[in-house]
Chains A and B, each alone.
Chain A
């Protein structure tokens, strides 16, 4: 399965590139990622959240990069879901912004994992990547993922429909959300 998405961010390409190249930043806006640990100059260890099943982890390596322009990576070793990605940072016509173009590809296996992955992406697999890039834009332009009372949990918002009502959270809801 191949997913593509694009957004325009009002920051110059070197800045957006640098944020993405620091792979530890990816889980701040990509819904399915729990953590990325850098293990070498081009190697890293990725872990993904519950929808993929418990403790889905894999190693990845950067296979191509051009500072300020592009980064390409792929999973290595025996990943449960072999995957690869490319992101390009293209100067926008306005002279101040960056067009971010992302392509992700997943080699979805058969069996239980394949079913879980298919269920996770649902009928609209593009929606998640679109939302990921929206949050990247929020983080780059405003400093944080934007929260509302109806959608207070940032990158987990997708799972929250119908949402909680648009009224402030109680202390217990707030406490529960913080470590969930």
Chain B
């Protein structure tokens, strides 16, 4: 089959690889009909996530048709011919974490748990196409994928919704939604979202659906801010204005009640010397993150507010504003999304027309042009927001 593979730092390559086979009894093989490039794939591309190897198949947002199931898959749950969206964290459904619906912390799905444990203190779930730290699972930017614990994760789509309407249930829509949900949104809340990429856009939509009074989008790309504005959110361009002052203006001096970091480890920053500090530390690997968005979210949030982090971090960061966090009674909440928890309720919101996930799609390319997709997405060329790939 054809698959998009990691070929070293800043290089992906579509190659011929063997077709996937059943390795565990509860596996299924899915013929992929649509897949996408995620912002977090760029952290892999840029070489900031350790344990990537040449030839690793990338991609953790995919859907398709079940063409084979292992002998341990309950036919009541999944059969050949089912149309499914596959959640990016692989979860067994049987461990303590899964019982607590903390699917992205599944205790059994990562065969390389020993390495993850050294990095993170405790292991994390397996993730498709997301380094060997999260299991070394082949990803979904391919014609076919092997899906472990297929009787737990995949969501069956039985209505006539298009791929584009449901594909993002695999990651970015639930991730954005969880970012908003962790904010315990009240009807009086102003919610500020750092990052107007696809996850940020869905965090904004989710904050509105959950009843926020006002939602603010912070980014530097005019086209991304315009996309947020068209969806009814208030844009703030951090290259044009001082973010803290503008946020104070927009909130009568209080600061946003809830702040969402949808940026993560590779933020850009208006302040050149702080940016330079982090660039240098990150380049020599003495700091793995450039956490500008997180620092600014903590400093901007009103006292007693919640800072919710869904942007991806991988290691260690410097100059964490612990004083602001502690003295102003802030709550910091975070997590890789527990996608399985949100798929069904969000599918219902899509069916009811409350959220339109297709609004972020700007490019649809054949899988063989994955390399170009990565390039325009990374460099924000051609007003690229979200790339869908068709195998």
Nearest chain B CB to A160 CB, angstrom units: 9
A-B contact pairs, 5 of them (CB 8 A): A134-B114, A143-B72, A148-B137, A168-B21, A174-B21
* A79 surroundings in chain B (CB, below 8 A): none
* A142 surroundings in chain B (CB, below 8 A): 26, 92, 94, 108, 149
What residue in chain A is nearest B27 (Cβ atoms)? A147
Tell whether, in the assembled complex, residue B72 and residue A168 are in contact, meaning their CB atoms are under 8 Å apart: no
A32 proximal to B (CB < 8 A): no
Tell whether, in the assembled complex, residue A168 and residue B96 are in contact, meaning their CB atoms are under 8 Å apart: no
Known contacts A141-B95, A150-B135; is-contact A167 B5 (Cβ 8 Å): yes
Contact for A165 among B53, B72, B110, B112, CB less than 8 A: B53
Tell whether, in the assembled complex, residue B53 and residue A148 are in contact, meaning their CB atoms are under 8 Å apart: no
Tell whether, in the assembled complex, residue A152 and residue B23 are in contact, meaning their CB atoms are under 8 Å apart: yes
**Complex CA–CA separation, A150 to B132 (angstroms):** 7
| Interface residue ranges of A92-143 to B (CB < 8 Å) | 94, 97, 127, 130-131, 134, 137-138, 141-143
B331 proximal to A (CB < 8 A): no
**Complex CA–CA separation, A127 to B24 (angstroms):** 24
Give the dominant DSSP class at B's interface: loop
Known contacts A151-B136, A174-B21; is-contact A141 B108 (Cβ 8 Å): yes
* A163 surroundings in chain B (CB, below 8 A): 53, 112, 132, 136
| Interface residue ranges of A151-180 to B (CB < 8 Å) | 151-152, 154, 157-158, 162-163, 165-171, 174
What's the A-B contact tally at a CB cutoff of 8 Å? 123
**Complex CA–CA separation, A147 to B139 (angstroms):** 14
Q: Digit string of A72-83 for contact with B (CB within 8 Å is 1, else 0)? A: 000000000000
What residue in chain A is nearest B114 (Cβ atoms)? A131
What residue in chain B is nearest A149 (Cβ atoms)? B138
B66 proximal to A (CB < 8 A): no
Known pairs A142-B149, A146-B109; list 15 more (Cβ under 8 Å).
A94-B96, A137-B95, A144-B25, A146-B108, A147-B23, A147-B148, A149-B136, A149-B138, A149-B146, A151-B111, A166-B132, A166-B138, A169-B21, A170-B18, A171-B18
| Interface residue ranges of B24-82 to A (CB < 8 Å) | 24-26, 53-57, 72
Among all A-B residue pairs, the 3 with the closest Cβ atoms? A150-B136, A165-B55, A151-B111
Tell whether, in the assembled complex, residue B25 and residue A143 are in contact, meaning their CB atoms are under 8 Å apart: yes
B99 proximal to A (CB < 8 A): yes
Give the dominant DSSP class at A's interface: loop
A28 proximal to B (CB < 8 A): no
* B55 surroundings in chain A (CB, below 8 A): 165-167
Interface centre among A97, A148, A150, A154 (most CB of B within 10 A): A148
**Complex CA–CA separation, A170 to B18 (angstroms):** 5
* B21 surroundings in chain A (CB, below 8 A): 168-169, 174
B184 proximal to A (CB < 8 A): no
Interface centre among A138, A157, A167 (most CB of B within 10 A): A167
What residue in chain A is nearest B20 (Cβ atoms)? A168
Tell whether, in the assembled complex, residue A127 and residue B23 are in contact, meaning their CB atoms are under 8 Å apart: no
**Complex CA–CA separation, A170 to B126 (angstroms):** 22
* B384 surroundings in chain A (CB, below 8 A): none
Q: Digit string of B85-101 for contact with A (CB within 8 Å is 1, else 0)? A: 00000001011100100
What residue in chain A is nearest B25 (Cβ atoms)? A144
Tell whether, in the assembled complex, residue B99 and residue A148 are in contact, meaning their CB atoms are under 8 Å apart: no
Nearest chain A CB to B224 CB, angstrom units: 31
What residue in chain A is nearest B53 (Cβ atoms)? A165
A10 proximal to B (CB < 8 A): yes
What residue in chain A is nearest B58 (Cβ atoms)? A166
Tell whether, in the assembled complex, residue B94 and residue A141 are in contact, meaning their CB atoms are under 8 Å apart: yes
Interface centre among B18, B23, B26, B146 (most CB of A within 10 A): B23
Tell whether, in the assembled complex, residue A10 and residue B56 are in contact, meaning their CB atoms are under 8 Å apart: no
